[in-house]
Structure 1
Amino acid sequence: MTLDELIHDWNDPLPGDARIPQLNDETLRDGLQSPSVRDPDIAAKRDLVHRLARLGVDALDLGMPGAGPKVLAAVRALMVEIRDHRLRLHPNVAVRTVEADLAQVAEIQQRAGLPVEAGVFLGSSPIRMDVEGWDLDFLVDAARQAVAFCRRHEVAVMMVTEDTTRARPDVLRAVYGAALDEGAQSLCLSDTCGHATPDGVRRLVRFVKEEVVKDRSVRLDWHGHNDRGLGVANAIAAFEAGADRLHGSILGIGERCGNVALDQLMINLHLMGHPKGDLSGLPALAARVAELCGVEIPANYPVLGRDAFRTGTGVHAAAIAKALHRGDVGLADAVYSGVPAALVGRRQEIEIGPMAGRSNAVYWLEMNGYDPSPDRVDRILRTAKNSPKILTEAEIRAVL
């Protein structure tokens, strides 16, 4: 029997949805706004840009040039890198509705000779408007002037409303409508504070598509945060409801609890029938981001963590070992795993610890060229059962 016949899948494969989701990486902008990360140098950022391009990411937020000379220099360098290496990436930058910042984006585009999209952002929720002392007329006027300026300088605009998931319908209708009237090419809905649930995301996306976009040819983006642990689920809900491009960062780094974890999103989209390309390079990319930004990948992090495909439990190990003895690697990769390890260039690993059974020891002995005699198995298990943790290879060899 095939794996499809052996697994009854209750998940919805989105039948009839032939759209291919676009992905916008935020690692080098929103990701670096995390208070706990280190800002890599330009050479390291160049390396990450190439890795993201190979992974199949469509677009890349290069930073917020208005934040200072260091960010501006990095944005300029990365624009040149994308241009000179003809990377299949569409660059964008975050920018306030301030003419000096917008002029900077126009200058970056002119200097590089490469189109860059301006992610023009503006707060939109009642709570933000109250704190800032803004009214609706101010927001609409700011949006109009910003988009009109960009249009005059031939800079494409993605109109971003901050805190969209807590904004009133009339405000969104007015601000987005004004931006579209002035020539904005795309709209971005933002869950800036990680407030939304999947149901809320679906309602919001459908509202904007039906009440704002209507029959216009406009790209719709989703930018989410993970404060309630719903970042990936919300991004998937946004795509299901009609969003075209989803934002995220590698390992989900970003402000507070982080952004949508782009790596997890790519895995889930792949398993839902929307592959973006070869994901075997994902572990190396994540490790590189962790190294450069000074963060650790938790052992239980989905797919990329050290323990993602390890087991020290006897029952689990026995099932995996039985599948391997049948010569069926695919079956071994699926019997106790919701994600195929081979998808990201990894394999199932059987360890020996206090919860191990005879199958764990037999498997280890066979994989390391030992005869799995009852005496060897017993000696390893006695040590394992008295250990508070998984045995290291050196500890096992010492027993032998």
Structure 2
Amino acid sequence: MENKKIQIFDTTLRDGEQVPGCKLNTKEKVKIAKKLEDLGVDIIEAGFPTSSPGDYQSVEQISKSVSNSIVCALSRAVEKDIELAGNALKNAKRPRIHTGIGTSNCHIRYKFNSTPEKIIEIANLSVKFAKRFVEDVEFYAEDAGRTENEFLAKVCENVIKSGATVINIPDTTGYCLPQEYGEKIRFLKENVKNIHKITLSTHCHNDLGLATANSLFGIINGAQQVECTINGIGERAGNTSLEEIVMIIKQNPHLNLFTNINTKLISSISCLVSDCTGMKVQANKAIVGVNAFSHSSGIHQDGVIKNRETYEIINPEDVGINESSIILTARSGRAALAYRYKKLGYSLNKRSLDLVYSIFLNHADKKKEITDQELKIILNKANLNSKLLHSSRRIINVV
């Protein structure tokens, strides 16, 4: 079976920036956009031009700075929004307008005080108006996760007739379970006339910690695009994490999927986004957290030292990290201690290692982590280091 390409739509600069306290200026946005293009992102959602003059300027400048990736601007299903988005994108080599409206009963009733028929009418008009500015128009059915499938299919069929080239099926509130979301995508693939003519996209939020799982089930069931952010940042609990969905695809060839992402650049762009936004990456974050390739348990350390694949399914070099980290704690064993001493230039025989290890445990019980400097202090306490502190690759013997 031929592998299917999944397009990566990055919305770090739009949905990702909606995190409270996470404000990017135009210079920072352009810098990140260029790195996203280097990363291999297919579509960069540059901002929401009608939201502020600064966002309009950012979309305008990114449009001038990016050559290969599609540059996308968000709008509501409002002519003024759409026109501003089109104007901001006028210098983009590959522009896309992303417009849409809520389709769930909750949104129709409480947000718009409207009717299903009126929502379809607005959806059609917004897509047709956007087509005046760009050929590539993406329609989002906001809160599609809670929209009845039959009505959602009707909306999709209508906007396809109106000229939509991409349809986004957002799980806006992170409500869906993976199987439910996957079935929703499959239902649309099987029941919407001319669905094969457009790209079907996932856009999942992480309110229940299921954003990546839902996106995965979406593409397994026929979606061809994933909307995601670097480090999974975004509204409330965040969005699908780009690094997670990309590495799931890379590490599971049986899915018969691929992306254009240069995964070796993942770590560096994760750090860039974290620095620019001020949003620290949690230590245990998959792929990009500082603990993602760190080992402190003696059993795990011993296995990794013998063969990395015993406890790592991803080669750290594949995401731009030089090597795994062996962290020395009270849970570390002799193998890890010997490994770290060897890194410092000391090879200990078994008797020396036993002696040093007993001293090491006394230190480790009082600290969260033992540093290289402390390892040298431990050697001094064991009386093994008096003339060897500056030696390299020496074998230390107990006499």
Work out whether residues 204 and 240 of structure 2, in 8 Å CA contact, stay in contact via their aligned partners in 1.
yes
RMSD: 1.7
- In structure 1, the partner of 2:396 is none
Work out whether residues 379 and 399 of structure 1, in 8 Å CA contact, stay in contact via their aligned partners in 2.
no
How far did 1:136 drift? 1.1
Work out whether residues 330 and 361 of structure 2, in 8 Å CA contact, stay in contact via their aligned partners in 1.
no
Q: Number of aligned pairs? A: 370
Distance in 2 separating the partners of 1:141 and 1:278 = 41
Please list, as runs of the form range in 1=range in 2, the aligned pairs for 1:174-193 lying within 5 A after superposition.
174-193=154-173
Distance in 1 separating the partners of 2:73 and 2:294 = 40
TM-score if structure 2 supplies the norm length? 0.88
- In structure 2, the partner of 1:32 is 17
Match among 124, 128, 138 for residue 144 of structure 1: 124
Distance in 2 separating the partners of 1:26 and 1:311 = 32
Please list, as runs of the form range in 1=range in 2, the aligned pairs for 1:52-63 lying within 5 A after superposition.
52-63=36-47
Work out whether residues 314 and 355 of structure 1, in 8 Å CA contact, stay in contact via their aligned partners in 2.
yes
% same residue: 24
How far did 1:177 drift? 2.0
Please list, as runs of the form range in 1=range in 2, the aligned pairs for 1:11-160 lying within 5 A after superposition.
16=1, 18-35=3-20, 37-82=21-66, 86=67, 88-110=68-90, 112=91, 114-132=93-111, 133-160=113-140
Q: Runs ≥4 in structure 1, deviation > 6 angstroms?
A: none
Match among 201, 205, 209 for residue 189 of structure 2: 209
Work out whether residues 384 and 390 of structure 1, in 8 Å CA contact, stay in contact via their aligned partners in 2.
no
Work out whether residues 352 and 384 of structure 1, in 8 Å CA contact, stay in contact via their aligned partners in 2.
no
How far did 1:170 drift? 3.4
Work out whether residues 162 and 192 of structure 1, in 8 Å CA contact, stay in contact via their aligned partners in 2.
yes
Query: SS state of the match for residue 192, structure 2?
Result: helix
Match among 265, 271, 289 for residue 281 of structure 1: 265
Work out whether residues 11 and 44 of structure 2, in 8 Å CA contact, stay in contact via their aligned partners in 1.
yes
Structure number with larger C-alpha Rg: 2
Match among 304, 311, 324 for residue 320 of structure 1: 304
Distance in 1 separating the partners of 2:171 and 2:372 = 46
Distance in 2 separating the partners of 1:57 and 1:357 = 42
Are residue 353 (structure 1) and residue 338 (structure 2) matched?
no
How far did 1:38 drift? 2.3
Q: Deviations over 1:142-173 (max 9, x none)?
A: 11211121223344211110000111233213
Q: 1:131 to 1:81 in 2, by over 3 A?
A: same
Partner amino acid, structure 2, of 1:282: I
Q: Deviations over 1:7-35 (max 9, x none)?
A: xxxxxxxxx35101110001000001112
Query: SS state of the match for residue 152, structure 1?
Result: coil
Distance in 2 separating the partners of 1:354 and 1:213 = 62
Work out whether residues 157 and 184 of structure 1, in 8 Å CA contact, stay in contact via their aligned partners in 2.
yes
Work out whether residues 41 and 261 of structure 2, in 8 Å CA contact, stay in contact via their aligned partners in 1.
no
Match among 268, 287, 294 for residue 303 of structure 1: 287
Query: SS state of the match for residue 315, structure 1?
Result: helix
Distance in 2 separating the partners of 1:104 and 1:382 = 64
Q: 1:185 to 1:119 in 2, by over 3 A?
A: same
How far did 1:380 drift? 4.6
Which sits farther off after the overlay, 161-170 or 365-374? 365-374
- In structure 2, the partner of 1:327 is none
Partner amino acid, structure 1, of 2:173: C
Query: SS state of the match for residue 153, structure 1?
Result: coil
Q: 1:391 to 1:90 in 2, by over 3 A?
A: same
Distance in 1 separating the partners of 2:94 and 2:260 = 23
How far did 1:216 drift? 4.1
Unaligned runs of 5+ in 1: 1-15, 324-331
How far did 1:101 drift? 1.0
Q: 1:107 to 1:384 in 2, by over 3 A?
A: same
- In structure 2, the partner of 1:226 is 206
